[in-house]
Structures are given as C-alpha cells and as structure tokens.
Amino acid sequence: MSRLNELRMIARVAQMYYVEKQRQADIAKHLRMSQATVSRMLKKAQEEQIVRTTVVAPSGTYAELEAGLRERFGLSEAIVVECSEDRDGAIMARIGEAAAHFLEATLQPDEIIGVSSWSETILRMVDNIHPMKSGKAKYVVQTLGGMGDPAVQTHANQLTTRLARLTGAEAHLLSAPGVAQSREAKLVLLGDPYVRETMDLFSKITLAIVGIGAIEPSSMLARSGNVFSSRELSDVTDAGGVGDISLRFFDSSGDPVRTPLDERVIGMSLEELSNVERVIGLAGGQSKTEAIRGALQAGVLDLLVTDKFTAARLLRNGPES
C-alpha cells in the first residue's frame, strides 16, 4: 500500500499545480513539505503518466506534415501552410504571410540578414512584415546581383531596402547584374569597391532567406533580364539540374551542377550558403516540387516554409532517410 499512498500524494500535488493552478511555493506551504519535494513529485507525475501532455494542433495547421519534413530531410523546423488550392499565386501569398510571422517572432538583435531579392515569394513575405520596435537587425545584405531591366530592378532594390527599414537595419545592395555577360566581365565587376564591400558581408550573414526555383525562371526573374538562354538552361537540365537557389543549380540529390554558367553569376554560392547559421527556404507549388526536394537534399536549408500540397508530395515521393 505504500506505493499507492505515494502515488495518491503525487496525484494530489499534480492536481493542485495543473488543475487548480496553484504555485509550487503555495502547494508546499499547504501540504507542509519543501518546494523541492513538490518539484520532484511533479516530475514523478510525468514519469508515472499521472500527468500526460497532449498538444492539439489548431485547425488549418499541419503538425504531422511538419514533423515528417523535419524527420525525413533533417530540418530544424518546417512550416506547412493552409492553402485552398494548389495554385502558385495563392501558395506564394500564404507562404509569405507565414514567413513574415516567423521572422518577426524569431529575429535576433544585430542579426545580419541575407536575402535573395529576385523571389516573388520573398517579396510577399516583405509585404506582410510589420515594422519592428525591438530585436532589430544590423544589416540586410542582397545576396544576388540586383541590376537588370530598370523597370524590374526597382522591385529587387525595394525588396532589400524595405526589409532593412522594417527590421531597423542598414541595407547593403549588390550593385551588379545577377548574371554577367562573361567570366571576364564578372571579374571586372567584382573589382568595384561597392560590390566587393557587399560580397565581403556574405561570410557574416547569420540568417539567409532564399527562394527555390525550378530550372524555368520565375516571371519576376525572367522580366529582370538576369537569366540564361533557353539553350544554356537546357544544358543545365542535361547535366541533371532540377532547380536553383539564387541561380546556383543543383541536381535531384542536392549536388551542385557545375557548368560554365556558374562563373558568370554574381552572388552567394551554395557553399557560402551552407556556412550560414540559419537558412530559410520559401517555396511551394507543383512546378517547384522537384526543385524543393533537391534543395532539401543539398543540406543547405535549416527551415522550409511550404504549402500542404507540396509537403504531401515531398513526403509521398521523397527519398527515404
């Protein structure tokens, strides 16, 4: 009977703490025992399963899909958003909203944010961020060249500068095209002190926010002029490429696809990205599923924000861990 009496006392302490919402100090005083004993009993209540913790996921959230993505692809976190239809526009909007909330909630003081500015999904994220009064960032660094068609270039520059303003940071624009005309032209552009100053910050970035693209460029990137020709992209596909992050291509296993095109890109490399402490990938949709899977296999992402349809496809067809 001694064990039963012990369990009865543990259950009473648990009831006072969890149900009656009494403080441990008050429980100790009431039962004439030390607070350390109360604490030990509460721990014992969990071990004996007298107290069981149940988390009920709110409607419209997908805890099982998120857990599946974390486990299968080794992510630290995954956010799967509700979306009424498997359509790019709607998906980008929902992903942008969720990413904005996550950034607001987790931004660290003096954070140095790297952002790939030719992503429509990241643009949706910035549209949903509220001005931050605390936890302000230090710099927002553009990680892919932003110059191109002047009519579209404005969007890329505004994305970087708006994110900087919203997070209380100083913007560092990459004043060069995302794609140089040749390797030699790239070397000349890298000699510019302002370009060099921004690229020198790549190694100091603590949080990178990237889009994930299919081989076919997004409409925003296509309009910018920072794209390769159809023949060049066909060569990437022939080499096994399935997608890109900031015009750095990779195959279905996540391995970089090395082509001469790589030598013309002015921006952060996948290797540099893999050294960043936190990398958040924003992407979803049927057309990007294989690209997202490849990016997950590359091991550069720490967190993925995607939609429920894409998450289900990734888990249904993804490689076994």
CA atoms within 13 A on the CB side of 66: 16
**Bridge-partner residues for 144, per DSSP?**
267
CA atoms within 13 A on the CB side of 96: 19
| pLDDT band (50, 70, 90) for residue 320 | very low
Q: In sequence order, what are the residues at sequence separation of 6 or more whose Cβ sits closer than 8 angstroms to the Cβ of residue 109?
A: 135, 136
Q: What is the pLDDT of residues 164-211, one digit of tens each?
A: 999 999 999 998 888 888 899 999 999 999 999 999 999 999 999 999
pTM of the model: 0.86
- What's the pLDDT at 290? 95
> Is the pLDDT at 281 greater than 80, yes or no?
yes
> Is the pLDDT at 220 greater than 70, yes or no?
no
Question: Which region holds residue 138: left if phi is over 0, alpha if psi is between -120 and 50, else beta?
Answer: alpha
Q: In sequence order, what are the residues at sequence separation of 6 or more whose Cβ sits closer than 8 angstroms to the Cβ of residue 48?
A: 7, 10
DSSP 5-61: HHHHHHHHHHIIIIIS---HHHHHHHHT--HHHHHHHHHHHHHTTSS-----PPTT-
> Is the pLDDT at 149 greater than 70, yes or no?
no
In 3D, which of 172, 148, 150, 151 has the Cα closest to residue 160?
A: 172
| Across 35-39, 127-131, 216-220, 277-281, least confident range | 216-220
Maximum pairwise Cα distance, the chain: 86
Give the integer Cα–Cα distance in Å for 207 and 212.
16
DSSP 9-25: HHHHHHIIIIIS---HH
- CB count, 10 Å around CB of 145? 30
Share of the chain above pLDDT 70, in %: 91
Give the integer Cα–Cα distance in Å for 12 and 21.
12
> Is the pLDDT at 321 greater than 50, yes or no?
no
Angle at 88 between CA 82 and CA 92, to 5 degrees: 60
- What's the pLDDT at 231? 84
Pairing of β 241-245 and β 248-251: antiparallel
- 238 vs 228 pLDDT, higher one: 238
- What's the pLDDT at 179? 84
